[in-house]
Amino acid sequence: MQCGTTGEITVFAQASSLHGAYKVIFDGTGVSAEVVAAKDAKPADPKAAVPVVPNVKLKVTVAADAAPGVREFRVACPHGLSSLGQLVVVDAPVVMEAPGIGTPEKAQPVPVPSVVCGRTEAAENVDYYRFAAKAGQVLTFEVHCARIQDKIHDLQKHADPLVTVTDLDGRELAANDDGYFADPVLEFKAPRDGEYRVSVRDAKYDGDARWAYALTVTDRPYVQHLFPLAANPGKAVQVQPVGTARLLQTNWPLTVPSEPGLRLVTLAGPTGPTNPAPLVVTPRPLVVEAEPNDDPKHATRVPLPGGASGRIGTRGDLDHYVFAAEKGKAVRLEVFARRFGTVLRSRLDGVLDVMTPDGKVLATNDDLNGKDPGLIFTPPADGDFVARVRDLNNRGTDGHVYHLDLDLARPDFTIKCDPSKASVGAGSRTAWYVQVARTNGFAGAVTVEVKGLPAGVTASPLTIPPTMTQGCVVLAAEKDAKLDAAAVAVVGTADGLVRTATPVEEIYLPGGGRGRFDVGMPAVAVCRPLDLLDVKAKTARVTLKPGEEAKIDVEVVRAPGYDKTVTLDVLLQHLGGVHGNPLPPGVTVVTAKSKTLLGSGTVGHIVLRAAPDVAACADVPVCVQAYVPINFVVKTGYATEPILVTVRR
Ligand SMILES: [Ca+2]
Ligand SMILES: [Ca+2]
Ligand SMILES: [Ca+2]
Ligand SMILES: [Ca+2]
């Protein structure tokens, strides 16, 4: 969708239903949508099973000042919240693929600039488009397709798009396969006035009806990368755009966003704003590499904490940075360049070395975050040390940009919530699993809150003690809570640190496994009461001593007529893999003594056991979830109220 426009998009469901869709929530600001009701749609019968509605039309409005880029969204239905959808927000007119453009002769004419929305809908599908260009005109083609497919819940086979530009006689003039990860980006300089063709296909001539793509065709200055790649928040800086814009041989002004993080920014070019390009926004003092710096003697000095921006500008380029450190005070060094699933898309496949000033390598790393290296280095003595950045394959171009971040290895943590969304039936509850990863000696408790919940929904308190890395929050909806959905924030706090959780989308892997992929927008919805109306635990507290067992009796309240099989669990599991376990260390479920397969019955129980060497703990919240299968992979969980587990020694 183009900024400043309103239009319709169709959302397709798969093995599920969009019946009754009533609201759409988007990540970020500037994009909104309403559900376009089909004319013959009947009001939903609250007691009926969910009728199959395989797609829904949305009327989407994108504000003129909406930030271009990929937006996550979810569709709320009375029976729950959809998995993640994505919309590409662009700043050029959008053209839809016309039928029958599968041969060069039938190429679809497209304006320049424009963004063509098409599909590589079947094996051997090649989509041909034609455009006019003037001699010497530089055009850029970019495809959004493969990069965004990992977030799609059930898309087991992924596209590998390829773009080719030919003249009208079919002579290939330019082609690109993998520019931004598997997606092509291609710069093309027209040799003469006239018409040309651009085609999109899968590199292996494969296809799938769900392989939607957005092909940008533009003659505007197009920014592939920025140099330097990092800047301080809120500052007015000059940056060099790398891409067609380099023809302009100049630095362009940029006012840096005020929030630190990985950002997309547009530059004010002489002919209007550019496409968005990634920038690392960091509050640390920054330097830019000073070539020549190919040996430790000519290293560029970087403060600690601080950051250095550079690029592996030519084949074999080595970039050295010198920093002063103190014996035993660990330093964290991290390269930001190319991270799949984020906006970072540099050409660099970085390697990071830490050396003595005379070039003896003390530590090295290749891949810490995706292709980006990083490491923690404990200086053996006071003095200067040298960080070296290079490309794994010794390649180098002006697109091999990077940012090297240096800081003392401060105690910290990251937090994730699994899954990325929760749907709670009015009058019932569901569990949300949270994981923390502590780093650099951080050993504190982490308190977890869910902010921005829909009206009538509450989240149970959770503090993950120092001895644990996981926990569960029970979301409860009041009986009279109205249908609603909201993007929320799951926030962990500890010792003055505040960290927002990354939600992980549940991905259906080939063979039925449960995969996970980091996404951006956690969300919670109130849905209508579904198959189970309530799950009741007969106990709210369990106290165990080493070697002891305790039984938790559970009763499920079924919706009238619902007689399918129900299973009980305290853990989040799938095909034997444990994805969430809120039990204290040393406390386990005794499977042989538990009754978790309820069949069509209503009562079961869970037996917990404390190991002989169990550590003491107090009031660790867990819950029993009753699971109803939706299909082979997806199940809906209905939780008891929190059950507090205490271990006394
Ligand atoms: Ca097609
Ligand atoms: Ca490709
Ligand atoms: Ca360099
Ligand atoms: Ca260098």
Q: Which ligand is nearest to the CA of 158?
A: 2
**How does pLDDT run across 444-455, given as a tens digit for each residue?**
999 999 999 999
Q: Which ligand is nearest to the CA of 159?
A: 2
Q: Which CATH architecture has domain 5-89?
A: Sandwich (2.60)
For the chain, what is the total number of helices (H) and then of strands (E)?
A: 0, 61
* 480 SS3 class: coil
Regions of the chain short of the pLDDT cut 50: none
Q: 238 alpha carbon to ligand 4 midpoint, in Å?
A: 21
State how far the alpha carbon of 237 is from the alpha carbons of 229, 252, 342, 465, in Å.
Answer: 12, 8, 23, 44
Q: Are 210 and 107 in contact (CB under 8 A)?
A: no
Question: Which residue, 437, 633, 629, is CA-closest to 516?
Answer: 633
Surrounding ion ligand 4 within 5 Å at CB are 293-294, 317, 319
CA–CA separation, 377 vs 331, rounded Å? 5
Task: For CATH 2.60.120.380, list the domain ranges present in the chain.
Answer: 94-218, 222-409
Q: Are 318 and 297 in contact (CB under 8 A)?
A: no
How far is residue 472 CA from its own chain's centroid? Answer: 21
Residue 274: its pLDDT value, please? Answer: 86
Q: Are 416 and 499 in contact (CB under 8 A)?
A: no
SS (H, E, C) 317-358: CCEEEEEEECCCCCEEEEEECECCCCCCECCCCEEEEEECCC
Q: Which ligand is nearest to the CA of 145?
A: 2
Q: 44 alpha carbon to ligand 3 midpoint, in Å?
A: 62
Residue 631: its pLDDT value, please? Answer: 79
> pTM of the entire structure?
0.94
Q: 293 alpha carbon to ligand 2 midpoint, in Å?
A: 34
What is the strand order of the sheet 523-527 is part of?
A: 421-425, 523-527, 484-487
CA–CA separation, 224 vs 311, rounded Å? 14
Report strand pairing: 383-391 vs 523-527: unpaired
Q: Which ligand is nearest to the CA of 185?
A: 2
DSSP-derived secondary structure for 154-221: T--S---EEEEEEETT--EEEEES-SBTTB-EEEEE-SSSEEEEEEEEETTS---TT-EEEEEEE-S-
Q: 375 alpha carbon to ligand 4 midpoint, in Å?
A: 21
Q: 646 alpha carbon to ligand 4 midpoint, in Å?
A: 58
Residue ranges of E strands in 392-540? 401-408, 412-418, 421-425, 429-439, 446-451, 457-459, 462-464, 470-477, 484-487, 489-494, 497-500, 502-508, 514-518, 523-527, 532-537
Sequence-separated contacts (24+) of 295-300 with Cβ below 8 Å: 295/320, 295/359, 296/320, 296/322, 296/355, 296/356, 296/357, 296/358, 296/359, 296/386, 296/388, 297/357, 299/357, 299/386
Q: 289 alpha carbon to ligand 3 midpoint, in Å?
A: 7
Residue 46: its pLDDT value, please? Answer: 56
Residue ranges of E strands in 234-318? 236-243, 252-255, 261-265, 268-269, 272-273, 277-281, 286-288, 300-301, 306-311
Query: Residue 69 — φ and ψ, nearest 5°?
Result: 140, -175
Q: 76 alpha carbon to ligand 3 midpoint, in Å?
A: 49
CA–CA separation, 472 vs 249, rounded Å? 54
Sequence-separated contacts (24+) of 553-557 with Cβ below 8 Å: 553/603, 553/604, 553/605, 554/603, 554/604, 554/605, 554/606, 554/624, 554/626, 554/640, 555/602, 555/603, 556/532, 556/598, 556/602, 556/603, 556/604, 556/626, 556/638, 557/532, 557/533, 557/602
CA–CA separation, 337 vs 343, rounded Å? 10
CA–CA separation, 267 vs 273, rounded Å? 6
Rounded to the nearest 5 percent, the helix, strand and coil shares of the chain are: 5, 50, 45
Place of tokens 């814009």: 245
Q: Which ligand is nearest to the CA of 319?
A: 4
* 592 SS3 class: helix
Q: Which ligand is nearest to the CA of 398?
A: 3
Q: 164 alpha carbon to ligand 2 midpoint, in Å?
A: 11
How far is residue 63 CA from its own chain's centroid? Answer: 23
Residue 249: its pLDDT value, please? Answer: 58
Q: Which fold has domain 222-409?
A: Jelly Rolls (2.60.120)
Residue 168: its pLDDT value, please? Answer: 96
Question: Which residue, 509, 604, 511, is CA-closest to 565?
Answer: 604
Report strand pairing: 446-451 vs 421-425: unpaired
Question: Which residue, 582, 627, 587, is CA-closest to 610?
Answer: 587
Q: For 214-251, b where at least 16 C-beta lie within 10 A, e where not — what string? A: bbbbbbbbbbbbbbbbbbeeeeebebbbbbbbbeeeee
CA–CA separation, 442 vs 291, rounded Å? 38
CATH class of the region 94-218: mainly beta
Q: Which ligand is nearest to the CA of 179?
A: 2
* 452 SS3 class: coil
- Partners of 384 in the β-ladder: 324
Q: How many CB atoms lie within 10 A of CB 53?
A: 16
Q: Are 86 and 70 in contact (CB under 8 A)?
A: yes
Q: 196 alpha carbon to ligand 1 midpoint, in Å?
A: 19
**Contacts of residue 256, Cβ cutoff 8 Å, sequence gap at least 6:** 231, 232, 233, 234, 235, 236, 237, 265, 279, 281
DSSP-derived secondary structure for 528-582: ---SEEEEEES-SEEEE-TT-EEEEEEEEEEPTT--S-EEEESSEEETTEEEE--
Q: 532 alpha carbon to ligand 2 midpoint, in Å?
A: 46
Task: For CATH 2.60.40.10, list the domain ranges present in the chain.
Answer: 413-647
Residue 634: its pLDDT value, please? Answer: 83
CATH class of the region 413-647: mainly beta
Q: Are 138 and 171 in contact (CB under 8 A)?
A: no
Q: 95 alpha carbon to ligand 1 midpoint, in Å?
A: 13
Residue 117: its pLDDT value, please? Answer: 98
Q: Which ligand is nearest to the CA of 120?
A: 1
CA–CA separation, 304 vs 323, rounded Å? 7
In residues, how long is the chain? 649
As given in the structure block, the two tokens for residue 386 are 């040298």
State how far the alpha carbon of 12 is from the alpha carbons of 264, 384, 436, 604, in Å.
Answer: 28, 58, 34, 38
Q: 152 alpha carbon to ligand 2 midpoint, in Å?
A: 18
Q: 174 alpha carbon to ligand 1 midpoint, in Å?
A: 20
Q: 224 alpha carbon to ligand 4 midpoint, in Å?
A: 21
**How does pLDDT run across 414-471, given as a tens digit for each residue?**
999 999 999 999 999 999 999 999 999 999 999 999 999 999 999 999 999 999 999 9
Q: 168 alpha carbon to ligand 1 midpoint, in Å?
A: 20
Q: 279 alpha carbon to ligand 4 midpoint, in Å?
A: 21
* 115 SS3 class: strand
**DSSP secondary structure code for residue 372 in this structure:** B
**DSSP secondary structure code for residue 27 in this structure:** S
Q: 414 alpha carbon to ligand 1 midpoint, in Å?
A: 41
